[in-house]
Amino acid sequence: MSTDEEGELAKHCRELAAGDTTSQALVAEALARIEATRGSINAFRTVRGEQALEEAREADRRLAAGERLPLLGVPIAVKDDTDVAGVPTYFGCPGDLPPATADGEAVRRLRAAGAVIVGKTNSCELGQWPFTEGPAFGATRNPWSTDRTPGGSSGGSAAAVAAGLVPAALGSDGAGSIRIPSAWTHLVGIKPQRGRVSVHPYTDCFQGLTVNGPLARTVADAALLLDAASGAHPDERYHPDAIDASAAARREPGRLRIALALRPPLTLTGTRPHPEVRRAVTALAETLARLGHHVEEARPRYGLIGLSFLPRAATGIAEYADRHPDPSLLDPRTRASTRSGHRLGGRVVRAARAREAAQQGRIGAFFDRYDVLLTPSTATPPPPVGAFDGKSAGATDIGIAAACPYAWPWNVLGWPGVAVPAGLTRDGLPVGAQLLGPEGGEERLISLAAQLEAELRWYEKRPPTHVTGEGAPMGQ
């Protein structure tokens, strides 16, 4: 399967291999766009500048010598929770942190595929919230409307791709942190099966909730980055069987049984999807039916899965916060979550994790009847920047649970999901949907997403043009 549109990542790879451009030119252009949008988008915490240019010059020498690798010479960004040698891993926090002494395994694999890491994108503090703001770096803004958040916690990666600063970026997802910003910036995001993309050296990250994955404008680009980054470190706990995501993006999915679930799991907030989210996701379901799939509404048996999520999330925050050299610098909400994590660690979190197999069995029975679950990615369009400023930890948690109730159960289960654009609100704000599957089901989800993309051509819609220096339009 293919679309008429070649994604930016695939285009860069093709042009580099053909000698139609150079890595040095592509990296220099990316760096110029990053610098030109610091005051408007603010997507990056760290920019590697001259280091990236030197690596681009080396990539050009290798290309000229005839070497070919999947991403040789292409500029890529990674999230600020991922170790890049010589750069601090701030993970959205203030304070002086030492540089990482080695690349994380996912970055090592991207470099082995030839990618040039131009910088590290902003994340909210310890990845806790679906917005990317904090005193350490300010606010990262949504290219579709700069008074709105791009989401979080991979908001910097999403903003960088949506704004055309880089062709693709790596993010992480512990409660929807790839899928939520993908929805709010009109991107494709893949939350892979747990263990697909390494989180090493942060093994068993956030008590198994968090995985790394790609954000891109097209399914094929996201699949290409996923293939390049995939693979576990020998010390990691999870080693799923290998997949070929790029081949899946070219393959027809066949006729599938698809369940539409508009009602979210229990969050005690009484949330329902915003009317424009409901309209957009329902229209997506109608498109799937028109493509020949059997689509019907259904309700997965989520049960009280939140009782397993909360101890794991709080313990994960505490584990990260305890590594900070000066925890007093952290947001008061982070310190409150850290105290909760200390209380819920040990026996409580072990009990929460022990329930995972039963939860997988109960929810997995849903896939005896259906192949794919379709839900909104979020309940609302992107909130304004600053919407959660000054709120307590409890008020923030209630607010984000109401806005984003759909994504986190799949982190408890460890299973894959693909976020796809569902359209724009009447005000021009992006909303999205997620295609969810059982263990190891990425290839089917990717094939289905590619089929939808070929039909809906969502890549043709781009954020409003902003001038980004040298007269170049951002996102072009």
Full strand arrangement of the beta sheet holding 75-79: 44-47, 116-121, 75-79, 168-173, 211-216, 188-191, 417-424, 430-436, 372-376, 257-260, 294-297
Q: Tell me the C-alpha distance between 29 and 8, whole Å.
A: 13
Q: Tell me the C-alpha distance between 458 and 85, whole Å.
A: 36
Instruction: Map residue 102 onto helix, strand or coil.
Output: coil
Q: Tally Cβ neighbours within 10 Å of residue 255.
A: 11
Catalytic residue check, 79: yes
Q: Which of 23, 123, 153, 447 is catalytic?
A: 153
Catalytic residue check, 391: no
Q: Tell me the C-alpha distance between 119 and 34, whole Å.
A: 9
**Region for 466 from its dihedrals, namely left if φ exceeds 0, alpha if ψ lies in -120 to 50, beta otherwise:** beta
Catalytic residue check, 172: no
Query: For the chain, how long is the longest CA-to-CA vector?
Result: 61
* Strand 168-173 relative to strand 211-216, pairing: antiparallel
CA atoms within a 13 Å half-sphere pointing along the CA-CB vector of 389: 10
Q: Tell me the C-alpha distance between 89 and 124, whole Å.
A: 13
Residue 443 carries which side chain, given as an amino acid letter? E
Q: How far is CA 233 from the centre of its chain?
A: 20
Q: Tell me the C-alpha distance between 200 and 236, whole Å.
A: 7
Q: Which of 154, 157, 172, 177 is catalytic?
A: 177
Tokens of 202: 């942060």
Tokens of 59: 């990539």
- Which runs of E-coded beta strand occur in 199-338? 211-216, 257-260, 294-297
Q: Where does 21-148 have alpha helices with state H?
A: 23-36, 50-64, 105-112
Residue 201 burial class via C-beta count within 10 angstroms: exposed 0-12, middle 13-18, buried 19 and up: middle
CA atoms within a 13 Å half-sphere pointing along the CA-CB vector of 262: 18
Q: Which of 23, 79, 120, 198 is catalytic?
A: 79
What does each C-alpha distance from 277 to 151, 159, 334 come to in angstroms?
A: 16, 21, 30
Residue 64 carries which side chain, given as an amino acid letter? A
Instruction: Map residue 276 onto helix, strand or coil.
Output: helix
Q: Tell me the C-alpha distance between 429 and 186, whole Å.
A: 9
Instruction: Map residue 287 onto helix, strand or coil.
Output: helix
Catalytic residue set? 79, 153, 177
